[in-house]
Structure 1
Amino acid sequence: MSKYSDITPEIYNLADKIKKNCVIDPELYTKYEVKRGLRDISGKGVLAGLTEICEVHSYTIVDNEYVPCEGKLYYRGIDVEEIINGFIKDDRFGFEEVTYLLLFGELPSRKQLDEFIKQLEFYRQLPPSFVRDIIMKAPSKDMMNTLARSVLTLYSYDEQADNISIENVLRQGLQLIALFPLLSVYGYKAYRHYHFGKSLVIHPPKAGLSTAENLLYMLRSNKKYSKLEAKILDIALVLHAEHGGGNNSTFTTHVVSSSGTDTYSAIAASLGSLKGPRHGGANIKVMQMFDDMKAKVKDWTNEEEVAKYLSDLLNKKAFDKSGLIYGMGHAVYSISDPRANVFKQYVKSLSEEKGMQEEYALYEMVERLAPEIIAKERKIYKGVSANVDFYSGFVYRMLGLPVELYTPIFAVARISGWMAHRLEELNNGGKIIRPAYKSVSKHRPYVDLKDREEKIEQ
């Protein structure tokens, strides 16, 4: 290891001080009524802002009581399931339409949609030599870091980078929405070339193709894809485009935007949030968990064997011993995640096209058994159901997408929501977001250096 990545004995010793001195008594959170994660014990979030962009609906109020209900997701007041049914019925792609809806607050006419798509195509071109000078230099092993670095570097190419007028931020947002597929795919191509010696083939995007089609077109060496593949990837982008102002990365967008900083810094911060395994990286954990399950469970059709493995997961005896069944449960939804319900309708068709019906049956079984086992072995305060990550990783695998691109594809979709929220934050001229943290440290006097004694561990 180099000096840049080696953890020396001195670092370990200093880290021990942090582990010892930076511990807060968990009971203090209850004493001062601090809602950790900005959520109460039932999972209801602390109200931190208002938005017209998206509604995540998971309960109804009956006699002043919160009653869990089937999950619903609304983009600008319209049920996302109705949106998807609408463009599927017309046999067209929907991500661009949804992006328009999120940004501008209304569904586009045919003419408006065509003009908007042309606008995105106009911006779907990187600055001269950007691929050679930026993406190809020191490629990271993590595509989210590559994506963030590319976004921050685009600041240097923008003569109006710090202009936060609505007009300029909209222009920047459209450029980033158009460029995210290129930055993600090209970053991956550079990574596999320099780290694994694979052939380096860069395909420019093709005019007339949707975002989903261009992702597959640029990624695959032969540029080929089936209609079903492109349709399901498009649905994935629609379902991931937005999820309310409170999700971690979008809340990050609001927090950072409220400081008045530039678009590139705000979106890079959101990317850093999305990278985390508790947020956008969750579908990778689902895939790894299922790989381990398929290796350990001899008969995938045996409910007792599968249930035993799920119980071992909860009791920290299997996979990463975290005590979690990845893909089950959500911070807001309890009875159902509407995104998972929509996904499931199309996953079966894709599994049949790809000859992966056995894997699909295993997913269905786990989705059915896991809530029962969790309820039996855990004290839970609301229902548990499959979330969108449960099926999205499986879909990406069936599409032949590399694991390294799972979270960047999430970002390709969510950049639409981030920019809608950034524009909403700036347009409403809110205050800088600055919540309170209560100090629970005891006051003590300063001790002169000459009077301090080093406590040496014996």
Structure 2
Amino acid sequence: MKKEYIIYKLSETIKSSCKIENELFTQFNVKRGLRNEDGSGVLVGLTKIGNVVGYERMPEGGLKAIPGKLFYRGLDVEDIVHGLIADKRFGFEEVAYLLLSGNLPDKEELGAFLELINENMPLEQKTTMNILDLEGQNIMNILARSVLEMYTFDPNPDDTSRDNLMRQSIQLISKFPTIIAYAYNIFRHSTQGRSLHIRHPKENLSIAENFLFMLKKDYTELEARTLDLLLVLQAEHGGGNNSTFTVRVTSSTGTDTYSAIAAGIGSLKGPLHGGANLQVVDMFNHLKENIGDWKSVKEIDKYFNCMLRKEVYDKSGLIYGIGHAVYTISDPRAILLKELARDLAKEKGREEEFAFLELLEDRAIETFSNFKGNKSGKRVSSNVDFYSGFVYEMIGLPQEIYTPLFAMSRIVGWTAHRIEELNFEGKRIIRPAYKNVLEERPYVPINERI
């Protein structure tokens, strides 16, 4: 029997071996995707780090949609962002300190923390040289491999004491920008034949500034401040998002920090999680080409209806960037990011495109509601992905690093949740159950198998 045939035959068995009837989930009260019937997440843990609010429970039962809110350690992210904008300060490092410690730093503490970040940002020479050898088509994979490699250079990689966990967390937050910038420059050199630039991070620059310097050298102040605030908005999103939950599940086994974070990177890479902003950018470019009048509500509505009927674009029936698992009326990150996108569009002379994107957001929400006929009772809003890709593009960032940038921000939340998972009283390995729905059968000797 040829090898190609056995692979084909094995793949054909998947049709039957993996088939589980939908009614069985209801019969055994299984929460698919860890979701309740009302769409809310199954409660599996407690945290003091982040809070994602999109609805409130009614006394008589059921959920009531409310404007979305996001809290970091009890602080409203809107207040944090508007405070940073008012002070004209870079704030991602301050948010990292907040999420890791539970408290905002004073000036002296923040200054010392910034020095610590800058000291840890350069890579070991061996790591730099190994990145040069890690040619690949996906920078998320290179990031994961580089994180795992950090284990070999750590003098105490398996130590889960508080001091060591915090040291490892700060190193990861500091080195992610450098790894991603270097990995992209290698990718560009190997796939596009471009010159190879390895710029060392500078002292006294923020993470956002250093990243742009290492990636493309030249940048405007507004580009750096916009990237900084985008990192702030994506640093944490509760313990239930897939990648953070992955980090907590892996951490609950007592494994090392680098293995847990690599698992989180693998989760975030998926198109249903961190890769969603790429789909929005692709959809936006498609709509720019296929809608003649960017101001025509009628033409936009007609095209969105065709998309929902799976007649055009990728025929998925989806409008990317619209809808969220928790937020219903609004995603606070999308609202804040829209403010940033508007200012950046003015600087870049792309106000017409921004106005088109803003109209698309409005009509997508309305069209979706009319298409569903409100039968489901579900409300939708735009999510953070609706504007993030457009912002990245205006800053001059390549699509290959959109998802790695998400990881560069979310590493803060991942490490904070890992620390919490390993340090609360009564911790236990996370081990849910699966119901087996296949009947037992007798073993058949190999000579009797047909």
Query: C-alpha displacement at 1:63, in angstroms?
Result: 3.1
| Distance in structure 2 (CA, Å) of the matches to 1:31 and 1:329 | 29
Query: C-alpha displacement at 1:312, in angstroms?
Result: 1.8
SS of the aligned residue for 1:129 comes to helix
Identity value in percent: 52
Instruction: Write the mapping of 1:315-330 to structure 2, written as runs, cut at 5 A.
Output: 315-330=309-324
> Which whole-Å deviations, capped at 9, do the CAs of 1:267-314 have from their partners, x for residues lacking one?
000000000111111000000111111121122221122112211221
Match of 2:18 in 1: 22
1:63 paired residue among 59, 64, 70 = 59
| Distance in structure 2 (CA, Å) of the matches to 1:419 and 1:374 | 37
Contact residue 163 and residue 262 of structure 1 kept, 8 A:
yes
Deviates more, 1:275-284 or 1:297-306: 297-306
Contact residue 41 and residue 381 of structure 1 kept, 8 A:
no
SS of the aligned residue for 2:125 comes to coil
Contact residue 50 and residue 237 of structure 2 kept, 8 A:
yes
2:294 paired residue among 277, 286, 300 = 300
Contact residue 54 and residue 244 of structure 1 kept, 8 A:
yes
Match of 2:366 in 1: 372
1:111 equivalent in alignment to 2:108? yes
| Distance in structure 1 (CA, Å) of the matches to 2:287 and 2:357 | 11
> Which whole-Å deviations, capped at 9, do the CAs of 1:97-156 have from their partners, x for residues lacking one?
000000000010010000001011111121123222x11114111010010010001111
Match of 1:43 in 2: 39
Query: C-alpha displacement at 1:159, in angstroms?
Result: 1.8
Q: What is the letter of the counterpart of residue 45 of structure 1?
A: G
Match of 1:388 in 2: 384
Match of 1:334 in 2: 328
Instruction: Write the mapping of 1:74-93 to structure 2, written as runs, cut at 5 A.
Output: 74-93=71-90
Contact residue 371 and residue 384 of structure 1 kept, 8 A:
yes
Match of 1:428 in 2: 424
Match of 1:409 in 2: 405
1:128 equivalent in alignment to 2:125? yes
2:347 paired residue among 346, 353, 362 = 353
Match of 2:93 in 1: 96
| Distance in structure 1 (CA, Å) of the matches to 2:258 and 2:58 | 44
| Distance in structure 2 (CA, Å) of the matches to 1:184 and 1:321 | 33
Contact residue 201 and residue 213 of structure 2 kept, 8 A:
yes
Query: C-alpha displacement at 1:83, in angstroms?
Result: 0.7
1:172 equivalent in alignment to 2:168? yes
Query: C-alpha displacement at 1:47, in angstroms?
Result: 0.4
Q: What is the letter of the counterpart of residue 34 of structure 2?
A: L
Query: C-alpha displacement at 1:41, in angstroms?
Result: 2.9
2:226 paired residue among 215, 228, 232 = 232
SS of the aligned residue for 1:171 comes to helix
Unaligned runs of 5+ in 2: none
Match of 1:33 in 2: 29
Match of 1:255 in 2: 249
Contact residue 120 and residue 178 of structure 1 kept, 8 A:
yes
Contact residue 90 and residue 225 of structure 2 kept, 8 A:
yes
Unaligned runs of 5+ in 1: 1-6, 454-458
Query: C-alpha displacement at 1:20, in angstroms?
Result: 2.3
SS of the aligned residue for 2:283 comes to helix
Deviates more, 1:137-146 or 1:46-55: 137-146
Query: C-alpha displacement at 1:10, in angstroms?
Result: 3.6
| Distance in structure 2 (CA, Å) of the matches to 1:264 and 1:8 | 37
2:274 paired residue among 271, 280, 283 = 280
Query: C-alpha displacement at 1:381, in angstroms?
Result: 4.3
Alignment RMSD: 1.3
Query: C-alpha displacement at 1:346, in angstroms?
Result: 1.5
Match of 1:141 in 2: 137
Query: C-alpha displacement at 1:322, in angstroms?
Result: 1.4
> Which whole-Å deviations, capped at 9, do the CAs of 1:245-273 have from their partners, x for residues lacking one?
00000000100000000000000000000
State the number of aligned residues: 444
| Distance in structure 2 (CA, Å) of the matches to 1:152 and 1:271 | 11
| Distance in structure 2 (CA, Å) of the matches to 1:239 and 1:348 | 16
| Distance in structure 1 (CA, Å) of the matches to 2:29 and 2:399 | 40
SS of the aligned residue for 1:408 comes to helix
Question: Runs (4+) of structure 1 moved beyond 4 Å?
Answer: none
1:311 equivalent in alignment to 2:311? no
Instruction: Write the mapping of 1:160-199 to structure 2, written as runs, cut at 5 A.
Output: 160-199=156-195
1:419 paired residue among 402, 411, 415 = 415
Contact residue 55 and residue 326 of structure 2 kept, 8 A:
no
Query: C-alpha displacement at 1:8, in angstroms?
Result: 4.1
| Distance in structure 1 (CA, Å) of the matches to 2:377 and 2:45 | 25
- Alignment CA distance shift 1:124-1:347 (3 Å): same
Contact residue 134 and residue 142 of structure 2 kept, 8 A:
no
